[in-house]
Amino acid sequence: MTSQQKKAVSFLGPAASYSHQAVRQAFPENDWEYNPVVTIGDVFDIVQDSVSPAGLVPFENSTNGSVVFTLDYLADRNDRYPDVTVRGEVYVDVHHCLLGHKALNHNLEDGTEGSGTCTPTATDPSPPRPRTKPLSSLKHIQRIYSHPQAFGQCNAFISTYLKGVEVFDVSSTSKAAEIVSGDTTGTWAAISSQLAAEMHGLDMLGRNIEDRTDNTTRFLIIGKDPEIPREGDLTMPSHGQVGTKSMVSLTVPHDSPGALAKALSCFEEFGLNLTSINSRPSLVQPFHYIFFLEFRGHLYDDPEAKVRGCFEKLKNVAENWRWLGSWRTCR
């Protein structure tokens, strides 16, 4: 298939981001053109405006929790993305590296890198021990760049070996590597991937610095939902699929005791297993929330009408509820 015939899939770039890795897992390069963009909002805009039929966005990490930027775009408070729905998911094992430039006058034998034990404090009397040690001295590092999620996944390493170093949030881990590649002082570092190190010619200062060995990020594939779904609207890997999921968002009257419990009971009544609950401020009034519920089941593969029955019941107990998509999953 030529590039003119390929469909485009948009994702949070630049190249070498973990989103890029997720896209490569889900969308064969022979069939799809990869389109890296600057922000998660750009992915939603491009899909809604039909520039790309598919987009991929990070949704949650097993160590650091939900990606609130994605939840905010799914909330769609200003009705900017009425046609965008979730069409699939991808899981990526995430192993972070510390990238930068090795110090010219320091090495690990100088005894300055510390014991690998965090200092106990009143708020954290038993701090976690980092899984790995630096591959070279970090005494020269004055700045670290990365995505906020990556910082949250590498707390033990940072608090042990990079305590007091200035932290800068950027749009993605690959953007962090790109920034550090332009450093002329040799004092900046990025938390990013091995692929980014190779792409930008950076030294590996630390490997597998994430807090947990099972660190995994789940990405959502988004598209514009057709009125009548067709097999193959989005090319998805068929191997390993074990079930289905759906997602809805809703609000409930906050001054009504048991309102959220009533909404959740609809899923129990129809035998639908909830797998995830998230919330974000609705911005309608302070401390009023939008809830995001994921459950096992599929709106378009519903032979016993459990999903449709649940949705009919939700109409009577929830406010502003919206179906956000159904998809097949490998987990």
The boundaries of the domain holding residue 109 are 97-207
Q: Is residue 234 part of a domain?
A: no
Say whether pLDDT at 238 is over 50.
no
Helical residues (DSSP H) of 125-172, grouped into ranges = 148-153, 155-161
| Distance from C-alpha of 206 to C-alpha of 132, rounded to nearest angstrom | 8
Q: Is residue 113 part of a domain?
A: yes
pLDDT in tens, 58-100: 999 999 999 999 999 999 999 999 999 999 999 999 999 999 9
Q: Is residue 295 part of a domain?
A: yes
Same domain, 116 and 188: yes
The enclosing domain of 16 has a CATH number of 3.40.190.10
Are the C-beta atoms of 264 and 274 separated by less than 8 Å? Answer: yes
| Distance from C-alpha of 315 to C-alpha of 271, rounded to nearest angstrom | 18
Same domain, 315 and 216: no
Write down which residue in 226, 259, 276 finishes a domain: 226
Helical residues (DSSP H) of 116-221, grouped into ranges = 148-153, 155-161, 173-181, 194-200
| Distance from C-alpha of 82 to C-alpha of 274, rounded to nearest angstrom | 24
Q: Is residue 233 part of a domain?
A: no
Same domain, 2 and 88: yes
Q: What is the mean pLDDT of residues 249-271?
A: 95
Same domain, 222 and 161: no
Write down which residue in 164, 193, 226 finishes a domain: 226
Same domain, 221 and 203: no
* pLDDT at residue 104 in the model: 75
Q: Among 197, 116, 107, which residue's Cα sits nearest to residue 163?
A: 116
At residue 243 the predicted structure's pLDDT band, cuts being 50, 70 and 90, is confident
At residue 41 the predicted structure's pLDDT band, cuts being 50, 70 and 90, is very high
Same domain, 123 and 202: yes
At residue 150 the predicted structure's pLDDT band, cuts being 50, 70 and 90, is very high
Q: Given the structure tokens 């949704």, which residue do they identify?
A: 59
Q: What is the mean pLDDT of residues 294-318?
A: 95
Q: What is the mean pLDDT of the chain?
A: 88
The enclosing domain of 310 has a CATH number of 3.30.70.260
Q: Is residue 245 part of a domain?
A: yes
Same domain, 76 and 108: no
Q: Whats the size of the chain, residue-wise?
A: 331
* pLDDT at residue 129 in the model: 85
Q: Is residue 231 part of a domain?
A: no
Say whether pLDDT at 315 is over 60.
yes
* pLDDT at residue 187 in the model: 96
Are the C-beta atoms of 213 and 258 separated by less than 8 Å? Answer: no
* pLDDT at residue 326 in the model: 94
Q: Given the structure tokens 């805009």, which residue do they identify?
A: 45
Q: What is the mean pLDDT of residues 3-27?
A: 89
Give percent of the chain above pLDDT 70.
86
Say whether pLDDT at 3 is over 70.
no
Lowest mean pLDDT across 237-246, 250-259, 310-319: 237-246
* pLDDT at residue 111 in the model: 42
Say whether pLDDT at 116 is over 60.
no
Say whether pLDDT at 223 is over 80.
yes
Q: Is residue 130 part of a domain?
A: yes
Angle at 266 between CA 262 and CA 271, to 5 degrees: 140
130: exposed, middle or buried (Cβ count in 10 Å: 0-12, 13-18, 19+): buried
Same domain, 25 and 152: no
How many domains, the chain?
3
Q: What is the mean pLDDT of residues 101-112?
A: 62
* pLDDT at residue 230 in the model: 45
Same domain, 17 and 162: no
Which residues touch 258 (CB under 8 Å, ≥6 apart)? none
Same domain, 113 and 81: no
Lowest mean pLDDT across 50-64, 193-207, 226-240: 226-240
Say whether pLDDT at 232 is over 50.
no
Same domain, 87 and 145: no
Tell me the whole-structure pTM to 2 decimals. 0.84
Q: What is the mean pLDDT of residues 241-256?
A: 90
Same domain, 47 and 104: no
Q: Is residue 232 part of a domain?
A: no
